[in-house]
Structure 1
Amino acid sequence: MNIINIFDKTIIEFAHNLHVNYKIFDFFFSLATNLGEGLTLIILSAVLIVIKKTRLCGINMAISLFIAVVIGAVILKPLIARERPFTDPIYYEYWIEAGKHLETSFSCPSSHTTASFAALFPIFLYFNKKYSFIALLIALIIGFSRVYLMVHYPSDVVFGAFIGIAVSSAIYIVLNKTNINKLIKKFI
């Protein structure tokens, strides 16, 4: 068994034990996973773009979200073509118990996690770290919800988080360390 399989199995068992011992998490993680839907994150980005004080962060969020989803969902998922954990007989019962959340595309990377980190990591970058860490906590909860609901392996979630953080960090650098920042502030 390789290290990724050990990691995946350990986190999946932890998530399943949460389900077995604390049924309230079924409801909580079903709600949390919906925060990672594209529409929710697009609306949040649009709201921040409309507010002049948060506009640059909103632009970073929107661009990062678009690029990260193209990289993760459009390019990498079909290339990696990893089946979902609920297709594995070992985890099928866990999936049934967690509510049978149906997903139809491939598993890796997690699109919800990719989108969440791409959209929420800029909040951490632009705002006061005393409070903005909450955006990262929300992205982590969304990512974990995907494992809890047995629609992703933990390694899918880690890979999605990496993509989201890398893309949003690159966009942050481009927007804030180049003359594009001045151009955006002048015209928008």
Structure 2
Amino acid sequence: MYEIDATLTGWINALAGDTFPDRIMVCVSAYGVPLLVLVVAANWWSGPDRLKTRHALVATGPAFLLGLGINQIILLFIDRIRPYDAGITHLLIAPSGDPSFPSDHATAAFAIAAGLLLHSMPRRGLAFLAAALLISISRVYVGTHYVSDVMGGALTGVLAAFLIKSLYKPQAALDRFITGVL
């Protein structure tokens, strides 16, 4: 299984080569998640059903944080070397000091996308899903993650979104307070 993962990772990273797409992927890798968070915040005042929209937007925050928290627990048990340290990829960005699995970028992006999709916001959710896929591919392209790292991160993000969906109910007192702001 590792051989397949390493081969796929190497193929994606081999597309890099001091070209214009390299610069785009480096930017997506660096700024993709913060940009998604800004877009979530900007959607606070949009949509015909503001309370439903706001409930979904608020739910993405705890899903994002829970996903990253789950990753920290996983890191206690799995200490995977980065693909550039294993000689599989060449790195286009600064090296990271933490283990490779799972990808926090993929977790965050997929938690947001899944949160919107689970809260019946298909248009926004699919747009965020496309962005999450691009961010995940960029992490492999720039050489910092294996394909399975971003897949694991995506799974963690989706799991976190499901957990938050089951816990954070619309029209509960907390929800009415938060969604009523501004």
Structure-2-length-normalised TM-score: 0.81
Consecutive unaligned residues of structure 2, counting only runs of 5 or more, are: none
CA distance in 2, matches of 1:184, 1:50: 19
Query: Alignment partner for residue 12 of structure 1, among 4, 9, 14?
Result: 9
Taking the TM superposition and a 5 Å limit, the aligned residue runs for 1:123-138 are 123-130=116-123, 132-138=125-131
Bigger helix fraction: 1
Structure 1 partner of 2:176: 186
Kindly provide the CA deviation profile for residues 85-127 of structure 1, in whole angstroms up to 9, marking residues without a partner as x: 11113x2xx414xx24321211111111111111222223335
Structure 2 partner of 1:107: 100
Cα deviation for residue 131 of structure 1 reads 5.2
Structure 1 partner of 2:86: 88
Amino acid paired to 1:110: S
Cα deviation for residue 19 of structure 1 reads 2.1
Report the secondary structure of 2:94's partner residue: coil
Distance of aligned partners of 1:156 and 1:17 in 2 relative to their CA distance in 1, 3 Å threshold: same
Kindly provide the CA deviation profile for residues 158-187 of structure 1, in whole angstroms up to 9, marking residues without a partner as x: 1100000011122123224xxx64324433
User: Deviating runs (4+, > 3 A) in structure 1?
Assistant: 39-53
The answer to whether structure 1 residue 149 and structure 2 residue 142 are counterparts is yes
Kindly provide the CA deviation profile for residues 63-92 of structure 1, in whole angstroms up to 9, marking residues without a partner as x: 1111111111x2222421111111113x2x
Structure 2 partner of 1:172: 165
RMSD: 2.5
Consecutive unaligned residues of structure 1, counting only runs of 5 or more, are: none
CA distance in 2, matches of 1:119, 1:130: 13
Q: Number of matched residues?
A: 174
Structure-1-length-normalised TM-score: 0.79
The answer to whether structure 1 residue 64 and structure 2 residue 54 are counterparts is no
Report the secondary structure of 1:95's partner residue: coil
CA distance in 2, matches of 1:33, 1:100: 9
Structure 1 partner of 2:109: 116
- Higher alpha-carbon deviation: 22-31 or 42-51: 42-51
